[in-house]
Structure 1
Amino acid sequence: MYAYFIANYSPFKSAPPSPKPAGSSAQPGALRRLMRSAVLGWQRQRTIAALHELDDYVLRDIGLRRDEIPLIVKRMQADNLPKNGSTSLKHHHA
């Protein structure tokens, strides 16, 4: 019996993978998507704030109304995102 125990027990044998901790349903890339979303939101808010600082005359000159600023910025940001599903935050130059 002792020989069976020695042959079948080793503290160095690989153990089965431990289960994920409760509440850990994060998928690969979830942190990357969260960070990307946070950065894009921050950039959007900075752009909106910068446009709101402009005079009405300047906004009119570039063809914007104050009430259009958030929607225009959102569209501009969507147009600049890569279409290939990349999560890169690097600037893309054409």
Structure 2
Amino acid sequence: MFNANPPHRPRSHTSDYRPRKTGGIRRWLQTEFRNWERRKMIETLRGMDDRLLRDLGIDRSDIPRVVDGFTDRELSMRPVSSDVEFDVKCRGHRAA
């Protein structure tokens, strides 16, 4: 016969296990990585002299706004060759 009210049995902790969704952690890591790439790009562009920035069509005060418009692919690119980076480091200062 059908029992409409079966006796209550406590569930074991192992039978109730469900893997947690990692979507929140993944999104957080992706956001942090994108922010790190953004900061890295801003620092690199700020290290360039004004003439080079003008050649790129960027005003020094617009660097954060320009970088905010970059796609993930653009953020992951190296903006200049290692020769230019080495030249900037050798001068020991940022261009006026």
If the TM-score is normalised by the length of the shorter chain, which range does it land in? 0.5 to 0.7
Partner of 2:56: 62
The residue aligned with 2:16 is 17
Deviation at 1:55, TM superposition (A): 0.4
Unaligned runs of 5+ in 1: 1-7, 19-25, 82-90
Structure 2 unpaired stretches of 5+:
1-6, 78-96
Aligned length: 65
* RMSD (Å), alpha carbons: 3.4
* Residue 74 of structure 1, CA deviation: 1.0
TM-score of the pair, normalised by structure 2: 0.54
Q: How far, CA to CA, are the matches of 1:68 and 1:47 in structure 2?
A: 13
Task: Please list every run of at least 4 consecutive aligned residues from structure 1 whose deviation after the TM superposition is greater than 6 angstroms.
Answer: none
Q: TM-score, normalised by structure 1?
A: 0.55
Give the one of 45, 49, 57 matched to 1:51.
45
> Structure 1 residue 58: deviation in Å?
0.6
Q: Secondary structure at the residue paired with 1:76?
A: coil
The higher-RCO structure (CA 8 Å, 6+ apart) is 2
For residue 65 of structure 2, what is the amino acid of its counterpart?
A: L
Q: 2:21, 2:16 → 1: CA distance? A: 17
